[in-house]
Amino acid sequence: MAKTRDVPTELRTFNSVFNSLTYRHDASRVFDDFLTIVICCMCYEQQEPLYFETIKNYNKEEIQRFAQLMAELMKLYFKAEQNGYWIDPLGDYYEVLAGNYKKSRLGQFFTPKPLCDIMSMLIIDKDDFGKTVNEPTCGSGRIVLAANNYAPGNYYVCQDLDPMCCKMAAINCCFHTVRAEIHCMDTLRMTPPTVSYYINYEHWKYKTKYIILKK
C-alpha cells in the first residue's frame, strides 16, 4: 500500500482506488495484474484468455475498481496529450510502490524526467524522422517518451529484463502514440524474448492506439 504523502498529487485519486484493492491482495500483484489488464484492453479483443486468467481471482467489485484505475490513467494521458508534454504515471507510481528494497535489489533507478529530456536533445537530432532507435534498458520507457516528444516520428526497438517494466513501457508508448517494439529479454546475453509488445505498429492504418502481444 502506498502512503498518500509519498504519491504525486496527480496520482492521489489513482492511489486511493488502488489501495482499496490491497486489503485482500498483495500490492505488487495488483499492480502487475493492472498492467496486464490495460495491455489486454489495448489489444482489442486479441488477448481475452489472458484477460480472464488475470481477473479470475478478483470479485466483481474489485474488477470495477480496475476499470476506475484505467479511467484515471487515461485522464492523465489525455491531459498530457492535449498540452503537448509526456508523462510516466505508471513509472512514478511504481517507484513509490516498489520502495528502495526492490529498486536496489534489481538495480532499478529510473532516470529523472528533466535528465531524460536533456539526454534526448543530445542524442536525437530535432529533424530526425523515420529512423530506428534502440533503447536496450528501457525501464518504463522514459527516455523513449522524451525522445519522441522532442523529435516525433521515429521507430524504437526497446529491451528490458523486468517484465513489469516492459509492460509499463508498452502502455506508455501506446498512449503517447509512439511506434515501438518492446522485448522482455536479457540484452547483454541476447536471450530470446519471453514476450514482445508491438505498439502502434501500423497506426497510420488503424488510426488508433493499440498493442500487439506475442510470446
The last residue of one of the domains, among 102, 137, 161, is 102
Residues 6+ apart with CB under 8 A from 102: 108
Mean pLDDT of 37-62: 96
The last residue of one of the domains, among 72, 102, 132, is 102
Mean pLDDT of 179-183: 97
59: confidence class by pLDDT, cuts 50, 70, 90: very high
Task: Tell me what percent of the residues of the chain surpass a pLDDT of 90.
Answer: 76
Domain carrying residue 46: 4-102
Q: Are residues 34 and 121 part of one domain? A: no
pTM: 0.92
Q: Are residues 205 and 117 part of one domain? A: yes
The last residue of one of the domains, among 102, 124, 150, is 102
Q: Are residues 96 and 121 part of one domain? A: no
Mean pLDDT of 70-89: 96
33-42, 136-145, 153-162, 200-209: the lowest-pLDDT one: 200-209
Q: Are residues 68 and 153 part of one domain? A: no
Model confidence at 127: pLDDT above 50: yes
Mean pLDDT of 121-139: 92
Q: Are residues 118 and 56 part of one domain? A: no
Q: What is the pLDDT of residue 98?
A: 78
Q: Are residues 70 and 46 part of one domain? A: yes
Task: Tell me what percent of the residues of the chain surpass a pLDDT of 70.
Answer: 90
φ/ψ region of 107 (left if φ > 0, alpha if ψ in -120 to 50, else beta) reads left
Q: Are residues 96 and 21 part of one domain? A: yes
Mean pLDDT of 146-157: 95
Domain total for the chain? Answer: 2
- Spell out a b/e string for 125-143, using b for 16 or more CB atoms within 10 Å of the CB, else e: eeeeeeeebebebbbbbbb
For residue 145, the number of C-alpha atoms closer than 13 Å in the C-beta half-sphere is 31
203: confidence class by pLDDT, cuts 50, 70, 90: low
Q: Are residues 95 and 35 part of one domain? A: yes
